[in-house]
Amino acid sequence: MHTWNVGIVGLSRGRGFLSLFAAHPRMRVTALCDVNPAILSDLGAAFALPDAALYTDYEQFLAAPTDIVMIATPIRFHAEQTIRALQAGKHVLCEQTAAYTVDDCARIVQAVRDTGRTYMMAENYCYFHYIRQWRQLVDQGKLGFIYYAEAEYIHEIEDLLVDRATGAFHWRHERPPIWYCAHCLGPLLTLMDDRIVAASGSHAGFHKRPEYADHLGFLDMEVGLFRTKKGALIKIARSQVAPRYPHTVYYSLYGTHGYVENGRDGSDTNGFLWIEGETPESEHGHRQAETIWCPTSDPDAPEEARHGGHGTSEYYMLADFLYALDNGVAPPIDVVRAMDFTVPGIVAHESAMSDGNWREVPLLG
């Protein structure tokens, strides 16, 4: 089987992928790129890479002997770095979010078409073990038609927005919460096999951090409503400052034959499932959902799957990417699907900052 040479740019987030790639029998890390020489030196030494494989210049990095470029830099760089990598003949695995503007999303789609290279968004939440289990339920028709779904990703990361000691802003300060929507929309749209065609949004203002009202990352909460091509409704809520401990990643889906959710307390055991005609009634004859296990990690995954982050999700995500490369097919989260996960958040934020009215969401591809 072919061994793929990989280069990683952006080593703060990319460090976790480096461990995963280095442990994979069919991947060889041959180049690293970061603006911080100290990080480069430390990781180069830790993974026995020569100095010639370490780059602070992205263009020089693209000339390195790699087949794949993993992009894990701040989001504002994703569009240009993705396009340049594709034009350099590389396949691209890019962290979410794909880009910050609809125009940049369209440019990425066009670059994939022009170059013929493979692009996949590294949306790892789609590969949580319980999401993969729910996909089997949906594919078997257990829930029927999913007409409504919700997701919340509430994660207080103020220390990643601003340095309290110096007042210097980190790159996430510019990111409105709902721009970072793929962790919410990715799993839902995957399970629903659907696309979003209209969006509206609203926000709660800057009550928690009014001193940072010029920095959209500090919005208390943003909520988006989305209409899908199949006629379903989706609601998501996002915050980067709300004091929610532990942080929550919550999903629920309501179908014509049942519903499923993973609960809100952060544990692996608090989900609920009800299927019409299958879930037993209580001893008093009342309808009652059954409690289900919702683990992020696959208990049957091989040992090398533990080297990635977010449970075993990144191991299975990488497996899909390699399958696509080996067989010359589109990966599950290809460039079109990546924009399905990205563009609705951009449009919902425009609505939230304006009149809150519904807006058309362009389908890119």
Helix or strand (DSSP H, E) at 149:
strand 146-154
Domains within the chain, CATH numbers bracketed: 4-125+314-334 (3.40.50.720), 126-299+341-360 (3.30.360.10)
Give the chain's residues under pLDDT 50. Answer: none
pLDDT of residue 352: 98
H/E/C letters for each residue in 81-108? HHHHHHHCCCEEEECCCCCCCHHHHHHH
pLDDT of residue 306: 76
- Residues 11/32, Cβ–Cβ less than 8 Å: yes
pLDDT of residue 345: 98
pLDDT of residue 302: 85
pLDDT of residue 244: 93
Provide the edge-to-edge strand list for the sheet that holds 359-360. Answer: 290-292, 271-275, 258-261, 248-255, 146-154, 233-239, 222-228, 196-203, 359-360
Return the exposure string of 140-173: e unless at least 16 CB atoms fall within 10 Å of the residue's CB, then b. eebbeebbebbbbbbbbebeebbeeeeeeeeebb
pLDDT of residue 358: 98
pLDDT of residue 266: 66
CA distance 253 to 322: 30
